[in-house]
A = this chain, B = another copy of it.
Amino acid sequence: MTTVRVAGVGLTPFGDHGDRAGRDLFAEAAAAAIDDAGIDRGAIDRLDYGNFMGALAEKQGHQAPLMAEAAGLDCPATRYEEACASAGVAVKAAVEAIRAGTADLVIAGGMERMTSLDTGAVTDALSIAADELYEVRAGMTFPSAYALMAQAYFDRFGGGREDLAHIAVKNHANAVPNEYAQYQREITVDDALDAPPVAEPLHLYDACPITDGASAIVLTSDEYAATHDLDAPVAITGVGQGGDRLALQDRDAIAETPAATAAAETAYADSGITAADIDVAEVHDCFTIAEVMALESLGIADSGEGILAARDGITTPDGDCPVNLSGGLKAKGHPVGATGGSQIAELTRLLRGDHPNSEYVANATTGVAHNAGGTVASAVVHVLEVAE
């Protein structure tokens, strides 16, 4: 089986793109990835594309052929929808196609337009990632769902708002030099603690923003990279996907995320790493509490100890395992269907040494991306390794 390499990455800035069409955003990211890879777009075999709320935000379904056209591609294209993990499953499918030998050169990624809706409408649109019959009709929104998870975590393991604040502070600081980040500005613990509540115990700075953006990565086989002289030092060596009940009420426990644990176990076994090998990670911090549970599912923190990882400096840039050096969903932004591809792109830049925060991971060889859907009813984990 071939090793799958990341030949190029491309991102739009994350933020408010005004009247720009989604196809325009994806075309920009794809062009950047193709340019970064130094390939001819005519050689691309397939597009694996993630999008979540296009039917609501742009009244546009059937986006895969549209995005292929926008990116100047002439190949089969498929859309994946797995809520906030849409691009994660798209990337995983691309990796599997190259491994299976059905494709040599693939573009994967995703796009989301969100600011085209007002805040109420985007909250409603996001809620379709939860169970309409048993959660949404009862009034549940995503901030309230993650608030329930945070409270359950506090009840079971301890911790509180100030611990979460350290995660927001860390991720905002990480975003400052990232030219693609929505919020390139620092906040303080007091800013976070004093911010207005969204759903207790979560306040404004515990939540990711509403974001437009696109991500694209070019993946290829070892052999194609060698024969075409592509500079692709980073490989995706492990993939894993997990699932859980959609509704929180149907789960055994809500202070942990077994779908992500299963995805991580599969990905680590696939790549042959253990959690101890991880040098850097991008995790799905749609809310600060989500980063906590992600760390525990990934094995970066033990059960009940993820809450202290930022505060204790384990996941800060100078810590043992820097997490969300991109700024994370919290400060880089979370264009839902693009996020999973953005995480891979950011990790690739970090491991290649051309990320503004690469200085913190100069000797890193192993990175992990954790992309979650809804209240982690689905999760995808990728292992990236430097493989010169």
Contact = CB atoms under 8 A, between A and B. Distances in A.
B65 A377 contact: yes
A130 B62 contact: yes
Contacts of A328: none
Q: Which of A74, A93, A243 has the largest number of chain B CB atoms within 10 A?
A: A243
Interface stretch (A96-104, A189-197, A343-351): A96-104
Contact of A132 (B53, B60, B64, B242): B60
Contacts of A272: none
Contacts of A378: 62, 64-65, 76-77
B76 A79 contact: no
B241 A76 contact: yes
Contacts of A136: 59
Interface in A240-264: 241-246, 250, 259, 263
Interface string A106-149: 00000000000000000001011111110010000000000000
A82 interface: yes
A94 to B, nearest CB: 12
Interface in A23-62: 52-56, 58-62
A170 to B, nearest CB: 29
Contact of A131 (B66, B75, B83, B377): B66
A122 to B, nearest CB: 13
Contacts of A76: 241-243, 263, 378
Nearest to A67: B246
Interface in A333-373: 373
A77 B21 CA distance: 30
A302 interface: no
A61 B77 contact: no
B250 A58 contact: no
A142 to B, nearest CB: 11
Nearest to A84: B62
A78 interface: yes
A114 to B, nearest CB: 14
Nearest to A54: B128
A374 interface: yes
A81 interface: yes
Interface in A279-322: none
Contacts of A250: 69
A131 B373 CA distance: 27
A93 B59 CA distance: 26
Nearest to A376: B65
Given A62-B83, A78-B80, 7 more contacts: A52-B61, A55-B56, A56-B56, A59-B127, A77-B243, A79-B81, A79-B82
| Ranked 4 nearest A-B pairs via Cβ | A100-B100, A61-B128, A62-B83, A76-B241
23 contacts: A52-B61, A53-B61, A59-B128, A60-B131, A61-B128, A62-B81, A62-B82, A62-B83, A65-B246, A65-B373, A65-B374, A65-B378, A66-B131, A66-B377, A76-B241, A77-B243, A77-B378, A78-B89, A78-B93, A79-B81, A80-B80, A81-B81, A96-B100
